[in-house]
Amino acid sequence: MEFNYDIFPAERVITTRYAGRFTFANLMGTAEQLWADPRYSPHFDGVVDLTDAALGVGMEDFRALVNFVRDHKKTSEGRWAAIAISPLPTA
């Protein structure tokens, strides 16, 4: 799995990109990486590019991800858009 991001504080925008197969553990790790960046603000909007990503998350992992994001104090409160080739990565 490949993950990269950029944060544009002046525009209050975050861009992220996932490529390859990713799991729940990958998603938690990338969220924590993003949140640790001093430029990060939960009030910024964002775009996530999933065009080259393959979902490797089962229903149990999905539930754990929802709980992780819901319970974390740094979770984004901004608006996010997802770019994907098929609906599965965004389901």
* Structure confidence by residue, pLDDT tens digits, 42-73: 999 999 998 998 877 677 877 887 788 788 88
Pairing of strands 13-22, 2-8: antiparallel
Residue for token pair 């992780």: 68
Give per-residue pLDDT as tens, 24-36. 888 889 999 999 9
> Could you give the CA distance from residue 86 to residue 53 in angstroms, rounded to a whole number?
10
Contacts of residue 52, Cβ cutoff 8 Å, sequence gap at least 6: 17, 18, 19, 20
Which stretch of DSSP H or E encloses residue 49?
strand 45-55
Q: What are phi and psi of 5, to 5 degrees?
A: -150, 165
Q: What is the pLDDT of residue 76?
A: 86
Look at residue 45 in the predicted model and tell me its pLDDT: 96
CA–CA dist 10, 89 (Å, integer): 29
- Give the pLDDT of residue 91: 54
